[in-house]
A and B are shown apart, each in its own frame.
Chain A
Amino acid sequence: MRVLVAMSGGVDSSVAAALLHEQGHEVVGATLKLWSGAGDSGCCSVADVTDARRVADQLGIDHHVFNFTEEFEASVIGPYVAAHAAGRTPNPCVECNRHLKFRRLLDRALRLGFDAVATGHHARVERDASGRPQLLRGADAAKDQSYVLSVLGAAELERVLLPVGELTKAEVRAAATGRGLRTAAKPDSQDVCFVASRTPGAGRASFLAERIELHPGRVVDARSGAALGTVEALELVTVGQRRGLGVASGGGVGARRYALAVDVASRTVLVGGEDELLTGAVRLAERTWVHEALPPGTEVLVQASAHGRPRPAAVDEDGVRFAAPERRVAPGQLVACYRGDAVVGSGIAC
Chain B
Amino acid sequence: MTAATPASRPGAYLDHAATTPMRREALAAMLPYLGAQFANPSGLHAASRAARRALDDARDDLAVALGCEPGEVVLTSGGTESDNLAVLGVHRRSGGTVVVSAVEHRAVLRPAASVGARVAPVRPDGRIDLVALAGLVDPSVSLVSVMLVNSEVGVVQPVGDIVAVVRRLAPGALVHCDAVQGLLWCDVAALTAGCDLVSVSAHKFGGPKGVGALVVRERAAGAVAPLLVGGGQERELRPGTENVAGAVAMAAAARLSVAERQATVARVGALRDQLVDGVLAAVPGAAEPAPRELRVAGSAHLRFPGVDAEELLFLLDGDGVAASTGSACASGARDPSHVLLAMAWTPAEAREAVRFTLGPTTTPEEVEYARRAVLAALGRLGTRTELGD
A interface with B by C-beta (< 8 Å): 31, 33, 36, 44-46, 49, 53, 64-67, 69-70, 103, 106-108, 110-113, 155-156, 159
Nearest 7 CB-CB pairings of A with B: A33-B333, A67-B333, A49-B331, A65-B332, A65-B333, A110-B385, A46-B330
Q: A66-B333, A107-B387 are in contact. List 12 more A-B contacts (CB 8 A).
A: A46-B330, A49-B333, A53-B332, A67-B335, A69-B333, A107-B386, A107-B388, A111-B380, A111-B381, A112-B311, A156-B387, A159-B387
A112 near B333: Cβ-Cβ < 8 Å = no
Q: Is the CB of B387 within 8 A of A44?
A: no
Known interface pairs A66-B310, A155-B388; A46-B331 also in contact (CB < 8 Å) = yes
Q: Please, what's the 1-or-0 string for B318-353, where 1 marks a CB less than 8 Å from any CB in chain A?
A: 000000000001111111100000000001000000
| A106 and B387 contact, CB distance less than 8 A | yes
B309 CB to closest chain A CB (Å) equals 10
With the chains together, A65 CA to B310 CA distance in Å? 9
State in angstroms the CA–CA spacing of A211 and B347 once bound together.
Answer: 22
B329-A70 in contact (CB<8A): no
The yes or no answer to B219 lying at the interface (CB within 8 A) is no
CA distance A106 to B385 in the complex (A): 10
Q: CB-CB < 8 A to B384: which residues of A?
A: 111
Known contacts: A46-B330, A65-B331. The answer to whether A103 contacts B314 by CB under 8 A is: no
Q: Which of B364-389 contact A (CB under 8 A)?
A: 380-381, 384-388
CA distance A50 to B132 in the complex (A): 42
* Beta-carbon contact of A113 and B380 below 8 Å: yes
Cβ B347 vs Cβ A110 within 8 A = no
Residue of B308, B330, B336 with most partner-chain A CB within 10 A: B330
Chain A positions within 8 Å of B315 at CB level:
112-113
The residue that A111 contacts in the complex, of B331, B336, B347, B385, with Cβ under 8 A, is: B385
Question: Which chain B positions have C-beta within 8 A of A159?
Answer: 387
How many Å from the CB of B290 to the closest CB on chain A? 23
Q: Does the CB pair A155–B387 fall under 8 Å?
A: yes
Residue from B331, B380, B385, B386 having most chain A Cβ neighbours under 10 A: B331
Interface majority SS on B: helix, strand, loop or mixed?
A: loop
Q: How far does the alpha carbon of A156 sit from the alpha carbon of B387 in the complex, in Å?
A: 8
CA distance A157 to B333 in the complex (A): 27
Instruction: Tell me which residues across on chain B come within 8 A of A103, comparing CB atoms.
Output: 387-388
- With A103-B388, A111-B381, A113-B380 in contact, is A44–B311 under 8 Å at CB? no
In the docked arrangement, what's the CA distance between A333 and B311, Å?
Answer: 34
Among A36, A53, A70, A112, which residue has its beta carbon within 8 angstroms of that of B314? Answer: A112
Q: With both chains docked as a complex, state the minimum distance between the C-beta of A139 and any C-beta of chain B, in angstroms.
A: 27
Knowing A67-B310, A112-B314 touch, does A33 contact B331 (C-beta < 8 A)?
A: yes
Task: Name A34's closest neighbour in chain B (CB-CB).
Answer: B333
In the assembly, what is the distance between CA of A109 and CA of B54, in Å? Answer: 54
Which residue of B is nearest A67, CB measured?
A: B333
- Find chain B residues with CB under 8 A from A36 CB: 329
CB distance from A194 to the nearest CB of B (A): 15
Q: Within the complex, what minimum Cβ distance (angstroms) separates B244 from chain A?
A: 33
Chain A residues with CB under 8 A of B387 = 103, 106-107, 110, 155-156, 159
Complex formed: what's the CA distance from A53 to B329 in Å? Answer: 15
Chain B 299-311 near chain A by CB (<8 Å), digits 1 or 0: 0000000001011
What is the distance, in angstroms, from A273's C-beta to the closest C-beta of chain B?
44
A residues less than 8 Å from B311 (CB atoms): 108, 111-112
CA of A155 to CA of B387, assembled, Å: 7
A11 to chain B, nearest CB (A): 19
**Which of A66, A108, A110, A111 lies at the interface centre, i.e. has the most chain B CB atoms within 10 A of its CB?**
A111
A45 closest partner in B (C-beta): B331
Determine which residue in B347, B381, B386 has the highest number of CB atoms from chain A within 10 A of its CB, and name it.
B386
* Cβ-defined partner of A44 (8 Å) among B308, B331, B334: B331
Complex Cα distance, B386 from A156, in Å, reads 11
18 contacts between A and B (CB under 8 A): A31-B331, A33-B333, A44-B331, A45-B331, A46-B330, A49-B332, A53-B332, A66-B310, A67-B334, A67-B335, A70-B336, A70-B347, A103-B388, A107-B385, A107-B388, A108-B308, A110-B385, A155-B387
Q: A4: nearest residue on chain B (CB-CB)? A: B314
Q: Quick check: B381 and A33 within 8 Å, CB to CB?
A: no
- Closest CB-CB distance, A298 to chain B, in whole Å? 25
Residues of B within 8 A of A46 (CB): 330-331
Bound-complex Cα distance A53 to B314 (A): 16
Q: Which residues of A contact B385 (CB under 8 A)?
A: 107, 110-111
- Please measure, in the bound complex, the distance between the C-alpha atom of A70 and the C-alpha atom of B333, giving whole angstroms: 12
In the assembled complex, the Cα of A113 lies from the Cα of B331 at a distance in Å of 24
Give chain B nearest CB distance to A198 CB in angstroms: 23
Question: Which B residues lie within 8 Å of A69 (CB)?
Answer: 333
Bound complex: CA A31 to CA B384 (Å): 22
Q: Which of A45, A66, A103 has the most CB of B within 10 A?
A: A66
Q: CA separation between A217 and B380, bound complex, in Å?
A: 55
**A49 contacts across to B, CB distance below 8 A:** 331-333
Q: Cβ of A70: which chain B residues have Cβ within 8 Å of it? A: 336, 347
